[in-house]
Structure 1
Amino acid sequence: MSSLRGLTKAEVEERIKRYGLNVVPEKKESLIKLFLKKFTGLTPYTIEAAAAISFVLGRYVDFTVMVALLLVNAVIGIIHEHRAEKAVELLKSKLRVVVRVLRDGEWTDVPAEYIVPDDVVKLKLGDVVPADGELVTGHLIVDESALTGESLPVDKNPGDKVYAGSTVLRGEGVVKVTATGVSTRYGKTVELVQVSKPRLIIEEITASITKGLLAADVFFIVLVAIKLVMSRTSFLDLLPFTLTLLIASIPIALPAMTTITLALGSIELAKAGVIVRRLEAIEAGSMMDVICLDKTGTITENRITVREVVPLSSEYSERDVLLYALLASEDDSKDPIDRAVLEAAKEKGVSKQGVEVLEFRPFSPETKRTEAIARVNGVEVRAVKGAPQVLAEMDKGLDKSRYETLIKGMSSRGERPLAVGVEKSGVFKVVGLLGLYDKPRDDSPLFIKEIKEMGVKPIMITGDNVYVAKTISGVVGIGGRVVTLKGVPREEIPSLVEGIDAFAEVIPEEKHDIVVALQKKGHVVGMTGDGVNDAPALKRADLGVAVSNATDIAKLSASVVLTKPGLRNIVDIIKLGRMVYRRIVVWSLNKVVKTFQIVYFVAISTLFLGLPVLTPTHMILMLFLYDFVTLSISTDRLRPSKKPERWNIRKLVTISVVLGLVKILELFLALYIAIDYLALPLDQTRTFVFYVLLLSGLFNILNFRETGWFWSSKPSLTVALSIVGDIIAGTVLVYQGWVIPAIPLHAVVVGFLYSVAVTLMLTDAAKIMAFRLFGAV
């Protein structure tokens, strides 16, 4: 049934019904469980405690607002996590492992999830084994470290078992599938494609800022509590107030903000042709200052052409050299050198017409040459093409000095020399050299220019010799400082990596060592690659980029995968990464300043007045309205930086403190206007302060998204509509007196105009001055 013709379509469908798809099902939590989880953690517990106390005290309005905040946050969180999960599923569906399978007597490409028991699968270098099976023909060397933890490769001969999740390091073979999906050794522990969501540096840094704010808040809260106790405020009135102050310091919207920002960033990149496998790649893209570029297939087209033909004597013409090279090439070969010779011969009108090929011997790694026995014009000859040094040893009468000079000349022009020889009447002679050239991609020079302008240093890494490396790196604009690591001890590599434009004659282990050395020097490092030999470096790099024609193992090792040829999409990764970074910086700046506005202003004013200037209801309502809008920052159109980003906590905190102090002064002036100028009673004063606090926080979003004046660029439509919607909602609340005491229309107008004047003029001017003094964050 499943002989050399493979399975039929009907047999495949029957097996899919019986065994299911070749996937390991993911355990997903129920929607109810996910929803309930939203009510756990520091922030929800604090709000729940405040709500419970409010209910016991009979403050049902406070209780209702707090419960509404918890419910809305939970719903928003579930919705956006669902969107993020859908985005991840989309990315995973695009990053499919495709397998060569024998079906209905023909070899065809099939996604790995549709492999079934008894399928006949062909595996080659770089493939991921899609299911458990038995090797039928061929020989494989596989890496089973993902399964066994054993780093040494394993030889597989006919009759040996191969396992899903292992990767082919060398050789080719045909495998008959014996188990798929959960029945494989892979079981339920590993997926063929996995998109991980690790903790990000951005989250860790924002969390550290929050801890600092909480520490300062606790100090003020203790002072306020002492003051209110001295003012004979009851403990049951004091507790909800202090708990609410604590809530104001906790970044309620941070998890949703980070999830939305990164998920939207991943979707944007997917549309541009970039599949994000690990979310930290977006962050790495913003901070990357060095990128190591694999030459072949990345900077160059990975399409070898014959650039020049050099006969070694007048006895042989260019056509003769091409003819003997053609005889030593296989007509239907997939070997790139054979294809280059076939194309060059066709262009020059050279063919095998009239020539009888008696025997062909394909390329062998041991002999490093290809041979053919042929009858040319009635004379039997042996045509040979191969490594110049190998053929030089076969030609006893060769002028070695001239030969080496020609080879060096070709190398200096970026060509790889290929020697062509012929044996007649038992005498072998090298008749000429072919200059093989892997042409740089048309877009490579532009790409190099762009990333240099963005502050990212390109370093080319290639296995080719120094001459080829120097030529290609010079042509595309990388630079001419080229070195080889031959004979350099591993521990000395870090002392060489900086100031170098290209590394030549590099072996796979050295690619990894170069990345590690650059990271030890403090660089955030990117790495591009396409082969098995690039996998260790791709996995180690901060931003591992598998190019469009990469092997499966390279794609699974990288953090992003390009689906289009060329490197242009790396610029998109950098720009989007920097934009995402700016969004989270703007959010953090708003959060710290808002904490100053609410917590410190409320605490200090309470110390002076002896009564809370805002009630828990005011504060909870404001946090709800404000945090809802700050989520929209994740969609904002922010200008990416022209240089790699770096978190500078001291600078961020310093600027936030300066602007926070400015905001506190503005709020005390607003308090003075409410009490002395508008002569509002305490309840209405609290609502007036609430309104000014809300509006100034919303206008701050416009301020902090720009280092210059706020009108320097337009926010996204989502940000603009969110701010306008919140202003309308807040205005209706304070004028109609819903949930909180109403204030008269003239007080609403004064509050609005005051907020516009001080925030969009005074605060914006203070922001520009702070950025000039301390530098932009």
Structure 2
Amino acid sequence: MQLQGLTNNEVNERINKGLINRSTVTKTKRIREIILENVFSVFNLVITSVILFLLYFYITSGDERLLYDTIGTTLVISLNTFIAVYQEIKAKRALDKVSLLLKKEVKVIREGKESIIDQSDVVADDIIALERGDQVIVDGEVIESNKMEIDESLLTGESLPINKQNGDEILSGSFCVSGNGFYKAVHVGDNSYANRITQTAKKFKLNLSPLQVKLNFIVKVLFSTAIFLVILEIIRTPGGFSDLDFVRRISTVMLSLIPQGLVLMSSVTFALGIYRISRIGAIIQKLNAIESFANVKIVCTDKTGTLTQNKLAVNRITPLTGKFTVNQIEKLLGTYAKLSSDKNATLRTLEIYEPDNNAAVTDEIPFSSENKMSLLQLSINNEQLTIIFGGYDILNERSVEKNKAEEIFEKDGLKIYRNLLFGVETSGRSLKEIEENLDTVKIEPLCIVSITDQVRDDVMDAINLFHKNNIEIKILSGDNAYAIQAVAKEIGWDIKDEELVTGSEIEQVNDTDIFRVIMQKKIFARLKPEHKLRIIKTLRKEKIYTAMIGDGVNDLPAIKESDMGIAMEEGSQITKEVADIVLLKNKFALLPSIFDEGNKIVNTVSSVAKLFLTKNFMVIYLTVLSMFFAFEFPLTPRRVSLINIFSIGLPSFIIALRNSNVSKLTNFTKELFSFVVISAAIIVGASYIGQYYTEKISGYTAEDIQMVMLSVMIFITSINFLSVVVHKNEKNMRLYILYAIGLVTLYSFLALTESRFILISWIKTFYEISFLQNQYLGLTAAIAVISGVILFALQLFRGKFISNKQ
């Protein structure tokens, strides 16, 4: 009975009633959630507490300095929050926009005809076709099943596929791993099971990348340090709250060590990376995916459709029997291709052969990645014939002509091809009986079908990139070992026989030895999905950051388990759904660009973090020295804001926009902290030298001392900016130098003028920039230049020393 489906009028009726598969659930956050999370962040709550603290003392004392501190801090927190919200919304829209490039279409039956529509246009009671590799898009009821097996592991964690019969419930979010059929849409849109789970579980939350883990650690340490220093200062200064300078000092410490800007600039950097990669043809489905790729130590990849183009062609047919002529065998192959419910790339290669139009299917066991074979029971002119098709090395073990087939196989040199055995099942049992134990099939072989595939032209560039960066590559494939080895050789990658292992051999390895075996081998052949999953789980258990590249349903468990999942655009629907990155047009050549962009993100965040943490360590040094040794503490909340603008904010944005450093940073934490400890110590030391020599000049005031110290800090931090960005491959060094000169010139203008213009006068007053007297100008410049040169030279030496140690 032919399925009719809905009529066009019935479809329109359901659309008018809102029974259409439109959902308010998204993988990314809603704009309202972005605003609320940023406005009411922990950082903002703490800073708001400091603002209220300053405001309280202003109200009780009337000191206008506290009012200006309150206004300044409020402006900074408002600007940072606005930028954070803007950038996160921009990143969300970038993710949403590129995700639209993935066509999510389904086949439905309407008016008795098959139609291809967008999945969002499905309405209640639509009849939807489901093939192997398709994801179930709405909850429904199975109305026709051809040995259809559904995997619900993404929903329930249940790893075993479930055989679905007519009338069974089928849940959105599950996917078909074997067979095919049709189901009727029941719950659509927000009412579907997958969308209800998403609303509850908030699936837009990300697994943290290695860089994000490091940043979170830094944030926690700085936040804890700020609280510790403030508490220590309060304990050491009983009754200190009666002194407004004390109130401003502890407020300065708290505000300075909260790394709100560092988190902001990291988000900006991630958003820029997504924008740049989306322009060259990759869909980034998670905000941190690009940076994650730069941390990969091992890349595991499928062969067919990944290293090769999945453009299969029959190279030759090798007969194994005299009972059938070559023409009869080819006709059976064409019949198998026409009548099998599987429509994969391998079967499509057999469509070149003419089918027997008198044949009809009476039963079928569809192909699955688990069994690597399929059987078709045919009725041809009232005679029953069961034919079997699958991997040569698997089926030949059950062949009645095993030795003969092996002899011909070796003689004809077929091992370099992807080989399948085509034969007749001779046990006489029904397929239902055979399905209970496929190991008992008896095969009379008809021929070996040798298939070739075209290697991707761009794959060697990616392989060379991985080798250059000491990233190991492992091929995880369901094909036979020698066919994989031949493909590797074709792309210029010579793999020895002892570096091959099969899935059956993997099964014999215990959990103690499995990691050693994985690290020794490069080709893993005849793998089932659970073999691939075991390999990925083992690598992750050993804390090895692992990527998995694939395109088929058999790759899905491994892609889902890996740290970094990459899928091809022409891969199965469900594989693309769970991957972190999808390569449009199957462009393997994009991987080097994504890798470089990942390194650029890491280097950009590292550079920005150096600027932020240099300031933080300066505040820590100044606080400790003033607390325990009664040294001058020249900073106030507004002067810290001034340092943030000249030393961090403006330099950070130009680094984020123009950084071109794609070299691999091997030790983020060591590189970061070794840099900031040295820079902060030199800058603080130079500022105290400025204080010492200022006090040698007669007529100085406390304001003169603080201005000399502040000016020395800002001048040297400009040189610190240059020491952050300098490296041998930097293309923008001239721009950075001009930028640093511009920053110094702008600050000098503010410090050396007594302009009567209202705006300039207001800026100087607000940021507590006093006039730098002529007698202190030469001293300030000399100290800044000498200390800056020392800082720059020490950082160059430090960088080379660390590089030589790695």
> Does the Cα contact within 8 Å between 2:291 and 2:597 map onto a contact in 1?
no
**In the alignment, residue 637 of structure 1 is paired with which amino acid?**
N
Partner of 1:291: 299
CA distance in 1 between counterparts of 2:671 and 2:395 reads 65
Shift of 1:550: 2.1
Partner of 2:566: 545
Give the secondary-structure state (helix, strand or coil) at the position aligned to 1:667. helix
Where do residues 41-440 of structure 1 align in structure 2 (5 Å cutoff)? 41-54=45-58, 56-57=60-61, 58=63, 59=65, 60-95=67-102, 97-139=104-146, 140-148=148-156, 150-186=158-194, 188-190=196-198, 195-213=204-222, 235-310=243-318, 328=335, 330=337, 334=343, 336-343=345-352, 358-359=358-359, 364-365=364-365, 386=389, 400-401=403-404, 403-407=406-410, 410-418=413-421, 433-440=448-455
Cα distance 1:215–1:332, how it changes in 2: closer, same or farther (>3 A)?
Answer: closer
CA distance in 2 between counterparts of 1:464 and 1:618 reads 66
> Does the Cα contact within 8 Å between 1:419 and 1:430 map onto a contact in 2?
yes
Shift of 1:443: 2.0
Shift of 1:297: 0.8
1:528 matches 2:545: no
Partner of 1:482: 500
Of the three residues 648, 653, 659, the one matched with 2:679 is 659
Cα distance 1:324–1:385, how it changes in 2: closer, same or farther (>3 A)?
Answer: farther
Give the secondary-structure state (helix, strand or coil) at the position aligned to 1:202. helix
Partner of 1:348: none
Give the secondary-structure state (helix, strand or coil) at the position aligned to 1:295. coil
CA distance in 2 between counterparts of 1:97 and 1:233 reads 63
**In the alignment, residue 761 of structure 1 is paired with which amino acid?**
V
1:766 matches 2:794: yes
> Does the Cα contact within 8 Å between 1:118 and 1:177 map onto a contact in 2?
yes
> Does the Cα contact within 8 Å between 1:637 and 1:715 map onto a contact in 2?
no
CA distance in 1 between counterparts of 2:444 and 2:234 reads 99
Cα distance 1:147–1:417, how it changes in 2: closer, same or farther (>3 A)?
Answer: closer
Cα distance 1:490–1:28, how it changes in 2: closer, same or farther (>3 A)?
Answer: farther
CA distance in 2 between counterparts of 1:482 and 1:11 reads 57
> Does the Cα contact within 8 Å between 1:304 and 1:340 map onto a contact in 2?
yes
Give the secondary-structure state (helix, strand or coil) at the position aligned to 2:124. coil
1:40 matches 2:44: yes
Give the secondary-structure state (helix, strand or coil) at the position aligned to 2:167. coil
Shift of 1:290: 0.6
**Cα displacement string for residues 108-147 of structure 1 (whole angstroms, at most 9, x for unaligned residues):** 3322222111222111222222222222222432234555
> Does the Cα contact within 8 Å between 1:117 and 1:178 map onto a contact in 2?
yes
1:641 matches 2:641: no
1:6 matches 2:6: yes
Shift of 1:712: 4.4
Cα distance 1:371–1:340, how it changes in 2: closer, same or farther (>3 A)?
Answer: farther
Partner of 2:21: 22
Give the secondary-structure state (helix, strand or coil) at the position aligned to 1:303. coil
Of the three residues 657, 677, 690, the one matched with 2:710 is 690
> Does the Cα contact within 8 Å between 1:325 and 1:341 map onto a contact in 2?
no
CA distance in 1 between counterparts of 2:524 and 2:573 reads 25
Shifted more, 260-269 versus 221-230: the winner is 221-230
Shift of 1:294: 0.6
- The total of aligned residue pairs comes to 750
Shift of 1:300: 1.4
Shifted more, 593-602 versus 765-774: the winner is 593-602
**In the alignment, residue 113 of structure 1 is paired with which amino acid?**
S
Give the secondary-structure state (helix, strand or coil) at the position aligned to 2:771. coil
**Cα displacement string for residues 687-730 of structure 1 (whole angstroms, at most 9, x for unaligned residues):** 3432332343244233213345xx9431697x889867755653
> Does the Cα contact within 8 Å between 2:569 and 2:584 map onto a contact in 1?
yes
Shift of 1:271: 1.9
CA distance in 1 between counterparts of 2:682 and 2:631 reads 23
**In the alignment, residue 244 of structure 2 is paired with which amino acid?**
L
**In the alignment, residue 773 of structure 1 is paired with which amino acid?**
F
Give the percent of matched residue pairs that are identical in Structure 1 and Structure 2.
21
Of the three residues 629, 639, 647, the one matched with 1:618 is 639
Where do residues 470-509 of structure 1 align in structure 2 (5 Å cutoff)? 470-478=485-493, 479-480=495-496, 481-486=499-504, 487-491=507-511, 492-509=513-530
CA distance in 1 between counterparts of 2:744 and 2:492 reads 52
Shifted more, 28-37 versus 129-138: the winner is 28-37
Give the secondary-structure state (helix, strand or coil) at the position aligned to 1:174. strand
Shifted more, 387-396 versus 196-205: the winner is 387-396
**Cα displacement string for residues 156-202 of structure 1 (whole angstroms, at most 9, x for unaligned residues):** 22223323222223221222222311233445332799543344443
Give the secondary-structure state (helix, strand or coil) at the position aligned to 2:569. coil
**In the alignment, residue 359 of structure 2 is paired with which amino acid?**
E
CA distance in 1 between counterparts of 2:698 and 2:111 reads 87
Partner of 2:747: 730
Where do residues 452-601 of structure 1 align in structure 2 (5 Å cutoff)? 452-478=467-493, 479-480=495-496, 481-486=499-504, 487-491=507-511, 492-601=513-622
Shift of 1:3: 6.9
Partner of 2:437: none
Give the secondary-structure state (helix, strand or coil) at the position aligned to 1:300. coil
Of the three residues 709, 713, 725, the one matched with 1:705 is 725
Shifted more, 160-169 versus 401-410: the winner is 401-410
Give the secondary-structure state (helix, strand or coil) at the position aligned to 1:238. helix
TM norm structure 1:
0.83
CA distance in 1 between counterparts of 2:235 and 2:164 reads 76
1:448 matches 2:452: no
- Report the RMSD for the aligned CA atoms in angstroms: 4.3
Cα distance 1:129–1:81, how it changes in 2: closer, same or farther (>3 A)?
Answer: same
Cα distance 1:44–1:615, how it changes in 2: closer, same or farther (>3 A)?
Answer: same
Partner of 2:760: none
Shift of 1:299: 0.9
**Cα displacement string for residues 617-673 of structure 1 (whole angstroms, at most 9, x for unaligned residues):** 32233235544325414334232224xx55453453234323322223333344446
Give the secondary-structure state (helix, strand or coil) at the position aligned to 1:440. coil
**In the alignment, residue 660 of structure 2 is paired with which amino acid?**
L
Give the secondary-structure state (helix, strand or coil) at the position aligned to 1:142. strand
Where do residues 671-690 of structure 1 align in structure 2 (5 Å cutoff)? 671-672=691-692, 674-676=694-696, 681-690=701-710
Shift of 1:78: 2.4
> Does the Cα contact within 8 Å between 2:308 and 2:456 map onto a contact in 1?
yes
CA distance in 2 between counterparts of 1:315 and 1:123 reads 38
> Does the Cα contact within 8 Å between 2:547 and 2:566 map onto a contact in 1?
yes
**Cα displacement string for residues 277-320 of structure 1 (whole angstroms, at most 9, x for unaligned residues):** 23342332111011000111111122221224556799999x86
Shifted more, 199-208 versus 744-753: the winner is 744-753
> Does the Cα contact within 8 Å between 1:462 and 1:505 map onto a contact in 2?
yes
> Does the Cα contact within 8 Å between 2:612 and 2:648 map onto a contact in 1?
no
TM norm structure 2:
0.80
**Cα displacement string for residues 444-481 of structure 1 (whole angstroms, at most 9, x for unaligned residues):** 23321222112211100111222222222333344232
CA distance in 2 between counterparts of 1:430 and 1:222 reads 83
